[in-house]
């Protein structure tokens, strides 16, 4: 890290600013650079690297990105939402059940309805946490089961579907397989940019950081803890719904037996890799995006290396632990330097 | 966390007589849990009278089944309880259980004793690795154990077709242990659980190690200043959790007779739920194993009830989630009014 160089006399005016920048954005930048290096490395590993591979990574990574963003919002607010994976399964099952055979206009209306429904449902989870004062992890453990069960009620068997235009929106092709990453890039960028702006620049968004870093200080400075909690969960619900739409568009059918718990665990791993502190109040949404793509990206890279997919999972686990150890070490050194 | 804010507001009991009754109950929250357990048994009896009465006379068959459901949950939840006391959690315990059972089944030609010991060694090793990650390298327990779960799944998916390609049948002794009953009333598995329970309860109440767990979870820094070597305690308690996972997995394998990689995965969330319903705080420092035992029994009876309801997977999951949520809400409300 460049920040540890002792400040010399002529740079005293720029070094603290730089140090602050590195402290604020260092991790985010590092994750983006890691992703970039991985992409370049991957390109040299496989015989042909073109738009098809790029589209594959981005399309497949879309639902991971949204689930990670959903988890990031809740964790920054000082909670944790084990139910996001269940919400993904529920929204994709609902989409598959009600969208099949409808014209595109109606599908968009249904998608909006599901999106709003997801926000309300997960907002309700936030309300329950706030009123009952049961820890987040316990309430969302319950909501994970409930969402998964509701998904099975709506779509008892694998099936249903969406439409070609809907699938194009998330994958750049009506069949779900394409060389066109642009629709997915737009679909990722716009909602993430809106939520990142909301979290970083608005009063209600910043109160999420306040609540997550110190609930008492937040209360004393006029943050409505209950409202903030509910809003953070509602936003997470909406983002999980977009993740659900993306996974529906890619697979083409709904499957309510997908294990939502595993998806949740991926989202937790992604935000930790993205530098969001599980203790709340620290981290950024933007860093969760490349981190989620990196996690998704592990599998194609390791298979390009000829690693058996089972060992790929082992390596992924070991890498996550190593990253956490390095992060812990850096944090410990930073605190000692202070 | 939000509790601190709202609790500073005054809570004046409106009716003194009611309040004193409430306080009397709140002083012994486990009595209420036992009440819930009895209530659930009653409801199950109403749904399906053969649960308690067959051919006009009382039968243990139904309760024995519930107990068999509860045994693996209860043993896994012993691991979760001890870890939660330190502020940790083990998301890999179900996978450790599966891995241990797999090794035991594979080594069954070497005789039951060797096979069981090898299975337990697997749990001990995986648990110790978790403990080193959490205790020495300060990796967040959620992430550490999540990664461990992925690592074990990858390794055993690979090894299932290579070095462990042999037997997937449990040794006869373990099958007897998992399925048999003493005098047609008490399952052997329940006797194993009782032994485990006695050790855990005594350990938590009577030994320095047990008290250290509470101290660590209550205030890590204070306990370190008081001379507790926190990393040693953490390594030991995660290793213990691994061993408990192994015992639960081997019993579970014995009940089914053969193993596969989906053996115990579905028990992960119930193991957390049992500890939480039993009043163990996920933030550490508060909880008892006796509460967890009642929590596991409640989940066991609940499983019987849902089976009798014959309502299908979907309704079962929704009910399961709602009941876990409702019970923890009630418990939180009671312990607050204390």
Domain locations in chain B as residue ranges: 62-337
CB contact A143 to B (< 8 Å): yes
User: Given this model, what pLDDT does residue B11 score?
Assistant: 45
B292/B298 Cα distance (integer angstroms): 10
pLDDT digits (tens, 9 = 90+) for A240-280: 999 999 988 888 888 887 777 778 878 888 888 888 888 88
d(CA B73, CA B267): 6
Nearest chain B residue (CA) to A267: B143
What residues of A are in contact with residue B269 (Cβ under 8 Å)?
A: 141, 144-145, 261
How far is A4 from A19, CA to CA, in rounded Å?
9
**A262 inside 8 A of chain B by CB:** no
Please report where in the chains the tokens 């012993």 appear, as a residue.
Answer: B78
Residue B99, C-beta contacts closer than 8 angstroms, at least 6 positions apart:
B122, B123, B126, B152, B155, B156, B249
- Cβ contact, residue pair B269, A144, below 8 Å: yes
∠ CA A311-A89-A276 to the nearest 5 degrees? 65
Contact flag B329-A148 (C-beta cutoff 8 Å): no
Q: State the CB neighbour count (10 A cutoff) for residue A279.
A: 11
B322 touches chain A (CB under 8 A): yes
Q: Write A203-208 long-range contacts (CB < 8 A, 24+).
A: A204/A228, A204/A231, A208/A73, A208/A76, A208/A77, A208/A232
Residue B186 forms beta bridges with which residues? B182
- Note the helical H segments in A202-308: 203-213, 215-220, 225-251, 260-273, 285-304
User: Any CB–CB contact under 8 A between A219 and chain B?
Assistant: yes
Give the Å distances, CA to CA, from B275 to A144, A162, B121. 17, 42, 25
CA distance A179 to chain B (A): 31
CB-based contact A268 B142, cutoff 8 Å? yes
Q: In this structure, are residues A125 and A139 in contact, taking their beta carbons and an 8 Å threshold?
A: yes
The answer to whether residues A54 and A181 touch, using CB atoms and an 8 Å cutoff, is: yes
State how far the Cα of A150 lies from the Cα of A162, in Å rounded to an integer.
19
Mean pLDDT of chain B: 81
Name the residue in chain A with its Cα closest to that of B269: A141
Gap between the Cα atoms of B74 and B72, Å rounded = 5
How much is the ipTM here?
A: 0.72
User: What is the C-alpha to C-alpha distance for residues A294 and A36, in angstroms, rounded to an integer?
Assistant: 10
Which residues, at least 6 apart from A236, have a Cβ–Cβ distance to it below 8 Å?
Answer: A70, A71, A73, A74, A81, A84, A87, A122
Q: Is B191 or A19 the better-scoring residue by pLDDT?
A: B191
Return the residue in B95, B154, B278, B285 with the most chain A beta carbons within 10 A, the one to mutate for interface testing.
B154
Contact B314 A150 (CB under 8 A): yes
How many angstroms away from the CA of B136 is the closest CA of chain A? 10
Between CA A115 and CA A234 the distance in angstroms is: 10
CB atoms B151 and A318 under 8 Å: yes
Q: Which two tokens stand for residue A44?
A: 């040299």
- H/E segment holding residue B270: helix B268-277
pLDDT value at residue B8 = 39
Per-residue pLDDT tens digits for B309-335: 877 778 878 888 888 788 778 777 776
Check CB contact under 8 Å for A145 and B155.
no
Tell me how close the Cα of A335 comes to any Cα of chain B, in angstroms.
Answer: 15
B138 touches chain A (CB under 8 A): yes
Q: Which of A104-108, B93-97, B112-116 shows the highest mean pLDDT?
A: B93-97
Listed by number, the residues of chain B in 140-169 with a beta carbon closer than 8 Å to a beta carbon of chain A are: 140, 142-144, 146-151, 153-155, 157-158
Of A81, A76, A59, A131, the residue nearest A238 (C-alpha): A81
pTM here is: 0.81
Residues contacting B330, CB < 8 A, separation 6+? B32
Do A22 and A1 form a contact (C-beta atoms < 8 A)? yes
Sorting pLDDT into bands at 50, 70 and 90, what band is B3?
Answer: very low
Q: A324 and chain B: CB distance < 8 Å anywhere?
A: yes
Chain A partners within 8 Å of B316 (Cβ): 149
pLDDT at A46 over 60: yes
Of chain B residues 268-307, which have a CB less than 8 A from chain A? Answer: 268-269, 272-273, 276, 281-283
Locate the chain B residue with the closest alpha carbon to A212.
B1
The contacts of residue B203 (CB under 8 Å, 6+ apart) are B209, B210
B8 versus B154: the higher-pLDDT residue is: B154
- Span A15-44, pLDDT tens digits: 777 777 776 677 788 888 888 888 888 888
Give A184-229 pLDDT, tens digit per residue: 888 888 999 999 899 888 888 888 898 888 888 888 888 888 899 9
Reply yes or no on whether the pLDDT at B27 is more than 70: no
Element (H, E) at B247: helix B230-256
Percent of chain B with pLDDT over 90: 17
Tell me the C-alpha distance between A165 and B317, whole Å: 34
In A, minimum Cα distance to B143 occurs at A269
Helix (H, G, I), strand (E, B) or coil at B58: strand
Q: How far is CA A93 from CA A111, A177, A255, in A?
A: 12, 21, 6
Partner-chain contact B146 A226, CB within 8 Å: no
pLDDT value of position B260: 80
Q: Per the CB < 8 Å rule, is B146 touching A216? A: no
* pLDDT per residue as tens digits for the range B150-179: 888 888 888 877 877 777 777 777 777 777
Residue B30 has pLDDT above 90, yes or no: no
Are residues B78 and B197 in contact, defined by beta-carbon separation less than 8 angstroms? yes
B250 contacts chain A (CB < 8 A): no
Q: Report the CATH fold assignment for B62-337.
A: ABC transporter involved in vitamin B12 uptake, BtuC (1.10.3470)
């Amino acid at each position: 890290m460049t920040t540890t160089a002792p400040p010399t006399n002529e740079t005293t005016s720029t070094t603290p600013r730089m140090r602050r920048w590195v402290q604020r954005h260092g991790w985010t930048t590092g994750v983006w650079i890691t992703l970039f290096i991985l992409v370049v490395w991957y390109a040299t590993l496989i015989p042909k690297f073109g738009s098809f591979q790029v589209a594959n990574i981005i399309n497949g990574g879309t639902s991971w990105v949204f689930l990670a963003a959903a988890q990031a919002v809740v964790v920054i607010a000082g909670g944790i939402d084990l139910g996001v994976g269940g919400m993904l399964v529920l929204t994709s099952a609902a989409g598959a059940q009600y969208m099949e055979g409808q014209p595109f206009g109606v599908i968009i209306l249904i998608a909006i309805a599901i999106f709003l429904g997801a926000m309300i449902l997960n907002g309700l989870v936030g309300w329950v946490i706030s009123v009952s004062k049961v820890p987040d992890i316990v309430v969302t453990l319950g909501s994970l089961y409930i969402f998964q069960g509701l998904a099975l009620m709506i779509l008892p068997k694998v099936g249903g579907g969406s439409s070609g235009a809907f699938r194009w929106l998330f994958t750049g092709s009506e069949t779900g397989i394409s060389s066109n990453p642009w629709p997915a890039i737009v679909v990722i960028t716009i909602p993430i940019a809106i939520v990142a702006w909301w979290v970083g620049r608005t009063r209600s968004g910043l109160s999420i950081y306040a609540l997550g870093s110190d609930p008492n200080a937040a209360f004393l400075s006029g943050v409505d803890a209950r409202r903030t909690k509910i809003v953070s969960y509602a936003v997470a619900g909406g983002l999980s719904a977009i993740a659900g739409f993306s996974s529906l568009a890619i697979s083409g059918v709904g499957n309510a037996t997908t294990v939502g718990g595993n998806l949740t665990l991926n989202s937790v791993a992604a935000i930790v890799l993205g530098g969001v502190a599980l203790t709340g109040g620290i981290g950024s949404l933007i860093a969760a995006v490349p981190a989620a793509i990196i996690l998704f990206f592990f599998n194609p890279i390791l298979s390009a290396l000829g690693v058996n997919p089972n060992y790929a999972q082992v390596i992924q686990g070991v890498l996550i632990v190593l990253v956490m150890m390095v992060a812990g070490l850096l944090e410990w050194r930073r605190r000692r330097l202070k | 966390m939000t509790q601190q804010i709202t609790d500073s507001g005054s809570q004046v009991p409106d009716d003194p007589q009611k309040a004193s009754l409430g306080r009397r109950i709140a002083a012994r929250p486990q009595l209420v849990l036992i009440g819930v357990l009895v209530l659930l048994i009653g409801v199950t009896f109403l749904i399906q009278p053969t649960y308690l009465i067959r051919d006009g006379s009382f039968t243990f068959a139904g309760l024995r089944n519930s107990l068999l459901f509860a045994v693996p949950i209860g043993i896994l939840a012993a691991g979760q309880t001890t870890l939660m006391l330190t502020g940790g959690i083990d998301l890999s315990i179900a996978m450790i259980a599966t891995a241990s059972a797999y090794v035991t089944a594979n080594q069954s030609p070497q005789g039951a004793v060797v096979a069981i010991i090898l299975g337990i060694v697997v749990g001990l090793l995986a648990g110790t690795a978790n403990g080193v990650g959490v205790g020495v390298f300060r990796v967040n327990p959620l992430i550490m154990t999540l990664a461990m779960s992925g690592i074990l799944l990858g390794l055993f998916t690979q090894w299932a077709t290579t070095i462990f390609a042999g037997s997937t049948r449990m040794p006869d002794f373990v099958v007897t242990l998992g399925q048999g009953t003493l005098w047609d009333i008490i399952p052997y598995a329940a006797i194993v659980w009782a032994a485990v329970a006695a050790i855990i309860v005594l350990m938590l109440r009577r030994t320095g190690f047990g008290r250290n767990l509470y101290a660590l979870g209550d205030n890590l820094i204070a306990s370190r200043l008081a001379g507790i070597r926190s990393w040693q305690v953490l390594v030991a308690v995660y290793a213990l959790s691994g061993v408990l996972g192994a015992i639960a997995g081997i019993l579970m394998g014995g009940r089914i007779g053969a193993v596969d990689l989906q053996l115990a995965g579905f028990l992960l969330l119930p193991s957390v739920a049992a500890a939480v319903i039993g009043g163990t705080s996920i933030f550490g420092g508060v909880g008892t194993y006796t509460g967890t035992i009642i929590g596991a029994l409640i989940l066991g009876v609940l499983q019987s009830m849902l089976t009798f309801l014959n309502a299908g997977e979907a309704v079962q999951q929704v009910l399961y989630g709602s009941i876990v949520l409702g019970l923890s809400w009630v418990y939180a409300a009671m312990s607050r009014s204390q």
